[in-house]
Homo-oligomer: A and B are copies of this chain.
Amino acid sequence: MAAMAALTLARRLLRSGPRPGLSGAGGREPGAAPRRAIGHGRVAVELDGSSGVAVMKMENLPVNSLSLGFLTEFLISLEKLENDRGCKEVVLTSGAPNIFSAGLDITEMCGKSVEHYTEFWRTVQEMWLRLYQSNLVTIAAINGSSPAGGCLMAMSCDYRIMAENPKYGIGLNETQLGIVAPFWFKDTMVNTIGNRATERSLQLGLSYSPAEAHRIGLVDQLVPEEKMQSAAAEVMSQWLAVPAHSQPAELPAGGGGEGPGSDRV
């Protein structure tokens, strides 16, 4: 059964720490037929061909900063999965301890050329568009804190499971640092938790505990940290039971009008 295969895979991948050996492109495990490691650089990807479920584990230590280089590796890995007919679902998670992703790498945003800024922001936006509009079912298994761009990444997935550890926080807290969140970060949050809660979040740069995040709908499900694996597997099997071609991508950011994904709804 697909769900069982997924469960096994998820258990194995989520349990282990960062495994650089897996993250190189083409680093397949010979003999373990349907399971293939097809990540790129610091993104460890393992696809279970029998269930169609891939686990993408971010391993840009120490905190999965979203640098230009790491985002590029992320995009290549995701594109590989989208082009792989055997892949239907992706679980996005972290191989770094206590953090899902610390968000945009701030060193990419100062002391560089205009060309660099352009390239960096184009790539950030590409990450958002790719995840948000993906044909694959995308599930964020948030096993650590997820501030700013890390929160955007999680919100761009179809479903969010978060570890129930009160030390973890999630939110678009840029305001606290004097950084204005781009309007499409805001639109994505409005689509997730509504207008007023987003206003509050951005005005005060709020970071939510898992319990608060769940209460306002920023994450869909809380699980004890040691049960992330089985929770992800259960969710996956729910999605696999539904005909994929009738599932919409997320509804368009910005609400109301036509936009990304609207032709699929």
Contact B256 A199 (CB under 8 A): no
The residue from B174, B203, B256 contacting A255, defined by CB atoms under 8 A apart: B256
This chain's copy number in the assembly: 3
Contact B256 A179 (CB under 8 A): no
The residue from B178, B193, B202, B251 contacting A248, defined by CB atoms under 8 A apart: B202
Stretch of A26-34, A99-107, A184-192, A224-232 that contacts chain B: A184-192
Stretch of A8-16, A66-74, A120-128, A237-245 that contacts chain B: A237-245
In the complex, whether A257 has a CB less than 8 A from a CB of chain B is yes
Q: How many residues of A contact B (CB 8 A)?
A: 44
Which chain A residues (145-187) contact chain B, with CB distance < 8 Å?
158, 174-181, 183, 186
Contact A265 B196 (CB under 8 A): no
Q: Report 7 cross-chain contacts, Cβ distance below 8 Å, ordered by A residue.
A: A158-B203, A183-B262, A186-B265, A191-B195, A199-B248, A202-B248, A254-B257
- List residues of A whose CB falls within 8 A of some B CB: 158, 174-181, 183, 186, 190-196, 198-200, 202-205, 217, 220, 238-239, 242-243, 245-248, 250-251, 254-257, 262, 264-265
